[in-house]
Structure 1
Amino acid sequence: MKVFDLHCGQGHIFEGWFGSEADYQDQQQRGLLECPVCGDGAITKGLSAPRLNLGAAAPQPPSSEASAAVSQQTRGLTTLPGNAPEKLRALQAAWLQLSRQLAQASEDVGTRFTEQALAMHRGEQEEKPIRGQVTPAQAQELVEEGVPIVPLALPKVSGETLQ
């Protein structure tokens, strides 16, 4: 089992578990990898430390070649101060939890959001919590009609259970 630290284009960091490196590559090529926080599909593999049980030999310092490879891989990554990685993970976990709560407490009406929101606002349909997708023009129409909307970027996995 391979456990990789994965990064999305928005800077979110999360773990991915794969049967092998080939399994990771296959899923990456087929576009199956997605950030659980924002749904971004631009996923890259970060540095991960393997755990190897090779005995009790003292660890050897990295070679200059290994140091150069790590330096090459980390070039351009932002270094976070102090306990920022823990705070970032806690913030991501809180956002995912809130996303799941919002998804469970509302109905996903997809692209029918504008029609249903307008119908509820005009009293033609019983009000209920809904979520869905709108274009910028549809959002403008809703705002001009006085429909109270809040744009949220909920991850696709909000209603699903993650391991």
Structure 2
Amino acid sequence: MIVFDLRCGEGHVFESWFASSAAYAEQRDRGLVGCPMCGATTVEKAVMAPNVAAKGNSRPALGPETVKAALQALAAAQSRALKGSRWVGRGFAAEARSMHLGEQAQEVIHGQATAAEAKALAEEGVPITPLPLPVVPPEEAN
């Protein structure tokens, strides 16, 4: 596992873990890496300071297995939260807006939205919550 400091197009800096540099690049290119503050998927690596522990002032580093277990626990929690939720894919923004305006019945949905769509929904007062891990569409889950 490797950690990168990332910066979105809005200037927010955040940290994210990846299996490798190649995994980061592949996920970024697919639009799966998003800013946790604004949802922007235009992200680049930010300047990072080296992680050098001072003598006598070091704490044990988290090993890859610990990080992997934490990410698996987060993915499992997210999966439990999505039970009973309907996958709407890239139609998320339209469905959420329609429910907000009372044009269709309220229900719990999840799907994909661009950063611009998510920002517009938030500005319109549509209650949405970005998920901490990318949601894999049902057809790609297996």
Q: TM-score, normalised by structure 1?
A: 0.46
Deviation at 1:92, TM superposition (A): 1.1
One-letter amino acid matched to 2:128: I
Gaps of 5+ in 1: 1-5, 14-32, 43-77
Alignment of 1:13-52 (within 5 A): 13=19, 40=27
Query: Is residue 71 of structure 2 the alignment partner of residue 84 of structure 1?
Result: no
One-letter amino acid matched to 1:146: G
Partner of 2:117: 138
Gaps of 5+ in 2: 5-15, 30-50, 54-58
Q: Distance in 1 between matches of 2:95 and 2:137?
A: 21
RMSD between aligned residues? 3.6
Q: TM-score, normalised by structure 2?
A: 0.51
Q: Distance in 2 between matches of 1:106 and 1:79?
A: 44
Query: Is residue 23 of structure 2 the alignment partner of residue 11 of structure 1?
Result: no
Deviation at 1:154, TM superposition (A): 3.2
One-letter amino acid matched to 1:122: L
Return the structure number with greater helix share. 1
Deviation at 1:109, TM superposition (A): 0.7
Q: Distance in 2 between matches of 1:158 and 1:98?
A: 17
Partner of 1:116: 95
Q: Distance in 2 between matches of 1:83 and 1:144?
A: 41
Deviation at 1:83, TM superposition (A): 6.1
The 3 A distance-change label for structure 1 pair 89 and 137 is: closer
One-letter amino acid matched to 2:121: L
Q: Distance in 2 between matches of 1:40 and 1:120?
A: 30
Of the three residues 80, 93, 99, the one matched with 2:72 is 93
The 3 A distance-change label for structure 1 pair 89 and 79 is: farther
